[in-house]
A and B are shown apart, each in its own frame.
Chain A
Amino acid sequence: MSTTVNGVRPALQVTGLTKHFKTAAGIVRAVDDVSFSIGKGEIVGLVGESGSGKSTVGRCVVMLHPPTGGSVVIDGAEISALRRGRLRRLRTGFTMIFQDPATSLNPRMTVRDIVAEPLVIHGMGRSGDHPRRVAELLDLVGLPHSTGTRFPHELSGGQRQRVSIARALIASPSLVVADEPTSALDVSIQASILNLIKDLQRDLGFACLFISHDLAAVEYVADRVLVMYLGRVVEVVASETLNERAAHPYTQALVSAAPVPDPDEQRSRQRITLSGDIPSPLAPPPGCHFHLRCPVAQDVCRERPPALLPGAASGQLVACHLVSPGTVD
């Protein structure tokens, strides 16, 4: 996974990323040796359930959390090794869109000021040019210029998320991390925001890490999907083959549990029911993190953690002792 994509330097290269949090109850091992890369102009989806560590990975990538171990390289610069001043200068290159625009936008600032803030903070461009740039961004995200003088509370949830997308893109980043950007929105609004992210990505060419618990949304926007379970990546698969080629027992369970909005199909599907809950990241089980709930676990799964190895489909990687490399199915 640490190789370049088609010989080109990737937009993001994460190697051996580990993040521990110290709490009163002990050390929470939120992310445990995660490696992946995102090519230039690629959208990679990151899925998993609560407690899988997917949001922590996103936050480590943009250095909102300094990693405990491992490296994060964006556009060739190892940002995880940089001191604050130098890191700050590079921050224009990567950015984040949060789940809830109601809490991630300053309620006392106008939309115009919110969108322009990255330019102000990083001293980009002449301040006289900022209004023109803000207007360009509002056009880009489909908001009328008149929204510029409004405050976040005057806007709908979908409009607010457009504002946070405009803010994220104004400094022309090469990497955007979107953490559940549509989860707080109604379905009719969700579709427009998913389309907006797809279209902007196609037009502007940034790389994107799209974090979501919603498999269907990830399949819709992402080229590849990373599946996480209890701090580790268990599978990487092209999004169009997620349904048919999922090889890890957890991915298969996840795919089978997500309901499809079609009564005939939904009621005739084979479902894999998982017993129990995701274990506590305070004390992850030895071996494969999934073995306690895995319907096919063997002795080896309880003893050794499986490595992430190539699967049968092109580009597929699977971390499972019971899936022999290159011979899925």
Chain B
Amino acid sequence: MSLLDVRDLTVRFSTKKGPVLAVDGLSYHLEPGEIVSLVGESGCGKSVGIMSLLGLQGPQAEISGSARFDDQELLGASERKLRLVRGKQVACVFQDPMSSLNPVVTVGKQVAEVLRRHRGLSAAKARLRVIDLFERVGIPAPAQRYASYPHEMSGGMRQRVMIAMAIACEPRLLIADEPTTALDVTIQAGILELLKELRDGTGMAVLLVTHDLGVVADIADRVIVMYAGRKVEEAEVRALFNDPQHQYTRRLLEAIPQRGGGRDRRLHGIPGTVPTLRDSPDACTFSERCAIASERCHTARPGFAEAGPGQAVSCWHPGAQTAPAVKGAVR
């Protein structure tokens, strides 16, 4: 049984300009100890696809489908039940630690509060445990840092506090939404290393939302690529980078500058923009920007088909090799 099993998740928002389909029939699963990454560009639904599981999406969201964590249904669960799951079994780390921390309470006290609430520890015991956690996530001088306020710490240290808070109750699943995006690369490297250590040490699974394919290459076991609310490809990390099957995945990999790639290897952007969807179209959502789209791509939604061991793709022309930038004017 999977630790997390999401089936046919659909999330709609009603906005002033009408309904927006943010996630369109997304299915994925996560095994214990696995690091799975959801990647895609802004607006692809990767964050919504995760936050809606925990009831963090707000009342204007209309959610359907199923999401079972450890065989308990999360969608439609009562706030009381969700509160038991959140923090204790599933914990979250977000992009910006400054806006996730209370600015007027010391960081030690904020983490201690989690332990007192979920674990019923006394104040003194919680304090010792927090200092221990701070040490584990690599905060120097943890006993002194206990009494620091968030603004007295750097971005990297604040993110370590967030991770300490997230792992305080030894969750079985850590959801990390762009956890290193606001950090410098030398600090990012340390945070990614820490996530790997925690996974290796405790068997915690990690669901990592990111737009950064370098981060994916570093840490993910399996990758789910999203485009315009839909999953377009899923693969083991090496297969995804070495043999991408979906045209969008291919084009995304061709668009990133490679270190040491030099100036002569020409990059190729993807012409056009991501569509904002009101309804689920009977088409591939990437067809408008795809260089090899055929008639069928514009008129029928491709299903999800096995493309190799552990690799599946939603494309009518999977794996097709093309000269990039055939369609559209990309300079």
A residues touching B (Cβ–Cβ < 8 Å)?
Answer: 49-50, 142, 156, 158, 186-196, 198-199, 213-217, 219-221, 239-240, 243, 253-267, 271, 273-278
Distance (Å) between the CB of A287 and the closest chain B CB?
A: 20
Q: For the complex, count residues of B whose C-beta is within 8 A of A.
A: 51
Cβ of B213 under 8 Å from chain A: yes
In the bound complex, residues from chain A placing their C-beta under 8 Å from that of B255 are 187-188, 190-191
Residues in B whose Cβ lies below 8 Å from that of A267: 217-218
CA–CA, A187 and B255, complex, Å: 6
Give the tally of cross-chain contacts (CB within 8 A): 146
- What are 26 sample pairs from A and B whose C-beta atoms fall under 8 A apart? A49-B184, A49-B186, A187-B252, A187-B256, A190-B255, A191-B256, A191-B330, A194-B257, A194-B267, A214-B257, A220-B257, A220-B261, A220-B267, A221-B263, A243-B260, A253-B186, A257-B185, A258-B259, A259-B218, A260-B259, A261-B256, A263-B218, A266-B214, A266-B218, A274-B190, A277-B154
Asked if B215 is at the interface of the complex by the 8 Å CB criterion, the answer is yes
Using Cβ atoms and an 8 Å threshold, which residues of chain A touch B213?
187, 261
Give Cα A239–Cα B268 distance, bound, in whole angstroms: 20
Whole-angstrom CA separation of A275 from B187 in the bound complex: 9
Type the 1/0 row for B14-52, where 1 means its CB is closer than 8 Å to any CB of A.
Answer: 000000000000000000000000000110000000000
Could you list 17 further interchain pairs (A-B, Cβ under 8 angstroms) beyond the known A216-B261, A277-B157?
Answer: A187-B213, A190-B256, A190-B269, A191-B267, A191-B268, A193-B269, A217-B257, A220-B257, A220-B261, A253-B186, A258-B259, A259-B217, A261-B214, A263-B237, A267-B218, A273-B193, A274-B190
With beta carbons under 8 angstroms apart, the residue of B189, B193, B217, B259 that contacts A215 is B259
The secondary-structure label for the interface of chain A is helix
Q: In the complex, what residues of A have CB within 8 A of residue B211's CB?
A: 186-187
Task: Give chain B nearest CB distance to A158 CB in angstroms.
Answer: 7
Q: How distant is the Cα of A193 from the Cα of B255 in the complex, in angstroms?
A: 11
Answer whether A266 and B217 are a contact pair too, CB < 8 Å, given A158-B273, A219-B257. yes
* Contact, CB under 8 Å: B260 / A257: no
CA distance A253 to B186 in the complex (A): 7
Structural contact, A261 and B41, CB atoms closer than 8 A? no
Q: Which residue of A lies closest to B215 (CB)?
A: A259
- Alpha-carbon gap, A79 to B304, bound state (A): 61
Residue in A closest to B270 when the chains form the complex, CB atoms:
A188
Cβ of A304 to closest chain B Cβ, rounded Å = 25
Contact A188 B252 (CB under 8 A): yes
Min CB distance, A193 to chain B, in Å?
8
The answer to the question of B331 belonging to the interface, with a C-beta cut-off of 8 Å to chain A, is yes
Q: Given the complex of chains A and B, what is the CA–CA distance between A264 and B239 in angstroms?
A: 11
Is the beta-carbon distance between B241 and A262 smaller than 8 angstroms? yes
Evaluate contact between B269 and A142: CB separation under 8 angstroms. no
B42 touches A186 (CB 8 A): yes
A195 and B263: CB pair below 8 A?
no
Complex alpha-carbon distance, A311 and B21, angstroms: 56
CB neighbors of A among B280-331 (8 A): 329-331
A257 touches B217 (CB 8 A): no
B177-214 interface with A by 8 A CB criterion: 184-190, 192-193, 211-214
Inter-chain contacts of A263 with B (CB < 8 A): 217-218, 237-238, 241
Decide if B108 is an interface residue (CB 8 Å cutoff): no
